[in-house]
Amino acid sequence: MPFISQIERQTDYSLFAPTRPIVIDNGGSYFRIGWAGESDPRVIFRNIVQRPRHKSTGETVSVVGDHNTALLKYFDCTRSGPRSAFDNNVVFQFEIMEYILDFGFDRLGVDSLGVDHPVLITECPCNPVPSRCRMAELLFESYGVPSVAFGVDAAFSYTYNQRLGNCDKEGLAVCSGFNTSHVIPMPERNLPFVLFVEGEPVFEACCRTNVGGYHVTDYMKQLLSLKYPQHMAKLTWEKVEDLKMEHCYIAQDYAAEVKLYQNETKEAEEKTRCWQLPFTPPPVEEQPSVEEIARKAAIKERQGQRLREMAEAKRASRINELENELRGLEFLLRQVEKVDENDIPAFLSDTGYVSKQEIESSIAKVNQSLRKAKREQVELDEKADVTTADKFPLVDVPDNMLTSEQVVVFRWCYMVVMNHEWKELKEKKKQIFLKTTAEGRQRARQKRAEEELLREKQNQLEEERRLENPELYLDQLRTKYKELSEKVDQKKRLKTNGNNSNGNNTSGGVGRGERMSAAKKERMRLLTTAAFDRGKGEDTFGARDEDWQLYKLMSKDNDDEDEGPDEDETELTRISSRLQAS
Amino acid sequence: MEREVVEAELVLPTHLNFKKLQMYEKYPKGQSRGRHWKHLKQIIQAENFQNYPPDEPNYVNIESPPSMHPPKRICDITGYEAPYYDPRTNMRYANAEVFKLIRSLPNDYVQRYLALRNAAVVLK
């Protein structure tokens, strides 16, 4: 059963005699205020204060207790959550306490200057003296209360139940509070028929455990949020508190009760509650009507058409402009041809051109850009052509039956026909390109054939010589082979091994010098000098142009190692093959 | 201020006729300025309860000592009696299904479940 606060303002305050005490049950979770002698409190609310900021005016206001949460939409509650004056059942924040007392007295209907009734207020057992002091101070100074009595709620409850005959003179009061629980033994000797007792229960034997309803709710909240992490935001503390109040119960024997659920008995099924979080369906977006869709499509179409027209107009104007320029230039050229050679500079002085050649080059330029502009159009037309061929066989459809879009496409087709000649021009260009490449290929083939012929001739010549005098021929070949092989060897040595020219490096130890070629070595030397030679004396690097050659030497591309087999080597292989053959 | 808010008397008025000393007189600089209160711990410390005679009840010595009873072994997930204990996660479980669930839980969830019974690993 969720708790419902009563905060209606009472109107019968003035009917009570000034001797009638006001009773306040100042509990950790609920604040109850009423009149002595009545069975129920008049005003009940949650013992919390919120200090949100009003959204439109920006002032900080105090809101005490529970209110209609719908009204809190006018306030910015992000910076202050609900606050309690209590810390483990002891009041410690007296400003909050004052707001709560303000609200309580206000709702009780106090309208005189000062609260002129004695006040009984509850506190926890063995309340620390400073807390009690400040509470008394607050009541006396701010509210002008004539007298204050403090009491322990559990003792009052016990006395009340004793009067009703629910319990004996001797007993044990177990007070399970919001933050703490107390066990207070009630011995026989005391408890006279007066409400205002203090210290009558045996506080020497009293016991406090810092576990209360708050912890139960918190535990349940944690369990729920662990089990349903997706609903973490919706499981607020208040919601869980309501859940606990509505659905939870205390088992007489936990182990036996749990067994019921574990064995899935019928009793457990009856006790199981299903509960749904408040569900707010997401706002359904209204489907736009058919007219709306049509209207939007029409607008889009119109915009697209306008853009196309604009682009077309722009292109046309550019072509027009270029053609005009071309005409002007040609005219100028003709004029210039008529004029005498010596008078040309004078004639051209106010046209901005200096010579005939310049005019010609600008004509060429204009021609080029004109071609470009026109080609763009051609390409576009081609595209349009493709689409028309694919999608719109419309040529047979009469004009008045076409929609606007189709009309546009139709016009494109029309333009394609008009621009056919440009397409021809393009075709010609393509053919020229093809022709030149074919010619190039032809030339290369011819050259190769000639080389082949030359080699054949050489071979024939050698063959003849061999047949004439085989001995001499072989000798010649051998000497040639020796020469060539020596040459190639030397080259190799130079490449792999800079200064080691004697070639008897057979030790196998390959040092740094052996690994690097002369060019590489030179490069390393240059690099090291460049790295360490800076700042010595005056820096005159770059004064002469030759200085910059340094970088060319330094760069890696300078190495010409991977050049492929050179002429000597090919000759050598040829000769060796011949030697073997003969 | 909106009409419905005023009608519901949601906001506590700053001036109340029955008060001898108004809130704004007490805290002229606004309530949030400075701390006018002590925490319960500070109150207890200032009170020097250790100097009080031990046979007189006070706020500190009525507190119950920690329980000496052996704790009941309760499954961390279902709340059933838990005869088993998972050495890897330190969680108690009731049956094989729960064990499967425990092993599939990510570590931070395990720690949060353990924190519910003050058994989580606390890094300091």
Confidence of residue A409 (pLDDT cuts 50, 70, 90): very low
CB contact under 8 A, A63 and B10: yes
pLDDT by residue (tens digit) across A195-214?
333 335 677 778 888 888 88
Q: In chain B, which among 32-71 make CB contacts under 8 A with chain A?
A: 32, 36-40, 43-44, 46-47, 55-59, 62-64
Structure tokens at A580: 């073997």
Strand A86-87 to A30-35 pairing: unpaired
pLDDT at B47 over 70: yes
Q: Give the number of beta-carbon pairs within 8 Å between A and B.
A: 133
pLDDT at A278 over 90: no
CB contact under 8 A, A90 and B40: yes
* Other beta carbons within 10 Å of A47: 25
Predicted pLDDT at A3? 66
Strand A90-91 to A86-87 pairing: antiparallel
Structure ipTM: 0.87
Separation of alpha carbons A219 and A241, rounded Å: 11
Q: Is there a contact between A111 and B17 (Cβ–Cβ < 8 Å)? A: yes
pLDDT at A302 over 90: yes
CB contact under 8 A, A208 and B5: no
Q: How far is CA A184 from CA A25, A209, A386, in A?
A: 18, 12, 97
Structure tokens at A217: 């709710």
Q: How far is CA A414 from CA A242, B8, B54, in A?
A: 78, 77, 111
Average pLDDT on A537-545 reads: 70
Predicted pLDDT at A500? 46
pLDDT at A388 over 50: no
pLDDT at A314 over 90: yes
CB contact under 8 A, A226 and B112: yes
Predicted pLDDT at A393? 43
CB contact under 8 A, B10 and A114: no
Among A185, A122, A204, A207, CA closest to A156:
A122
CB contact under 8 A, A87 and B37: no
Residue found under tokens 């899935």 = A264
Chain A contact set for B18 (CB, 8 A)? 105-106, 110-115, 143
Range with lowest mean pLDDT among A124-138, A311-325, A542-556, B59-73: A542-556
Predicted pLDDT at A498? 47
pLDDT at A377 over 80: no
CB contact under 8 A, A92 and B47: no
What letter would DSSP give residue A558? G
**Partner-chain residue, chosen from B8, B21, B72, that has the shortest CB–CB distance to A141:** B21
Separation of alpha carbons A45 and A25, rounded Å: 11
CB contact under 8 A, B36 and A94: yes
Chain B contact set for A87 (CB, 8 A)? 39-40
Q: Is there a contact between A183 and A192 (Cβ–Cβ < 8 Å)? A: no
* Other beta carbons within 10 Å of A371: 16
Separation of alpha carbons A484 and A92, rounded Å: 110
H or E stretch at A25: strand A22-26
Could you give the angle at the alpha carbon of A476 between the alpha carbons of A471 and A479, nearest 5°?
Answer: 125
pLDDT at A233 over 50: yes
Among A223, A152, A212, A146, CA closest to A179:
A212
**Partner-chain residue, chosen from A71, A103, A113, that has the shortest CB–CB distance to B18:** A113
Average pLDDT on A1-20 reads: 81
Predicted pLDDT at A307? 95
**Partner-chain residue, chosen from B12, B20, B32, that has the shortest CB–CB distance to A143:** B20
CB contact under 8 A, B10 and A222: no
Predicted pLDDT at A297? 93
Chain B contact set for A251 (CB, 8 A)? none
Q: Is there a contact between A3 and A30 (Cβ–Cβ < 8 Å)? A: yes
**Second-level CATH architecture of A13-48+84-209:** 2-Layer Sandwich (3.30)
CB contact under 8 A, A102 and B1: no
Predicted pLDDT at A317? 93
Predicted pLDDT at A574? 79
* Other beta carbons within 10 Å of A151: 20
Confidence of residue A554 (pLDDT cuts 50, 70, 90): confident
Q: In chain A, which among 70-99 make CB contacts under 8 A with chain B?
A: 71, 74, 87-88, 90, 92-95, 98-99
Chain A contact set for B108 (CB, 8 A)? none
Strand A148-152 to A171-176 pairing: unpaired
Predicted pLDDT at B44? 85
pLDDT at A44 over 50: yes
Q: Among A275-284, A421-430, A492-501, B107-116, which range has the highest average pLDDT?
A: B107-116
pLDDT at A120 over 50: yes
Predicted pLDDT at A199? 38
Predicted pLDDT at A448? 92
pLDDT at A119 over 90: yes
- Name the closest residue on chain B to residue A261, using Cα atoms: B80
More reliable by pLDDT, A306 or A130: A306
Q: Among A75-79, A291-295, A522-526, which range has the highest average pLDDT?
A: A291-295
CB contact under 8 A, A203 and B44: no
In a 10 Å sphere around its CB, with 0-12 CB exposed, 13-18 middle and 19+ buried, how is residue B22 labelled? middle
Chain A contact set for B80 (CB, 8 A)? 258, 261-262
pLDDT by residue (tens digit) across A64-88?
887 777 777 788 877 777 888 888 8
Confidence of residue A380 (pLDDT cuts 50, 70, 90): low
Separation of alpha carbons A187 and A171, rounded Å: 7
Separation of alpha carbons A270 and A258, rounded Å: 14
Confidence of residue A503 (pLDDT cuts 50, 70, 90): very low
In single-letter form, the type of residue at position A327 comes to R
In a 10 Å sphere around its CB, with 0-12 CB exposed, 13-18 middle and 19+ buried, how is residue A480 labelled? middle
pLDDT at A333 over 50: yes
Q: Would you kindly state where each structural domain of chain A is located, as residue ranges? A: 13-48+84-209, 217-271, 292-418, 479-498+517-525+546-582
The shortest C-alpha distance from B109 to chain A (Å) reads 7
**Partner-chain residue, chosen from A144, A222, A255, that has the shortest CB–CB distance to B20:** A144
Separation of alpha carbons A201 and A312, rounded Å: 102
In a 10 Å sphere around its CB, with 0-12 CB exposed, 13-18 middle and 19+ buried, how is residue B29 labelled? exposed
- How much of chain A exceeds pLDDT 70, in percent? 80
Separation of alpha carbons A98 and A138, rounded Å: 7
pLDDT at A413 over 70: no
Predicted pLDDT at A507? 46
In single-letter form, the type of residue at position B29 comes to K
End-to-end CA distance of chain A: 120
E strands present in chain B: 84-85, 92-93
Average pLDDT on A364-387 reads: 70
Confidence of residue A24 (pLDDT cuts 50, 70, 90): very high
**Partner-chain residue, chosen from B18, B55, B80, that has the shortest CB–CB distance to A258:** B80
CB contact under 8 A, B19 and A143: yes
In single-letter form, the type of residue at position A347 comes to F
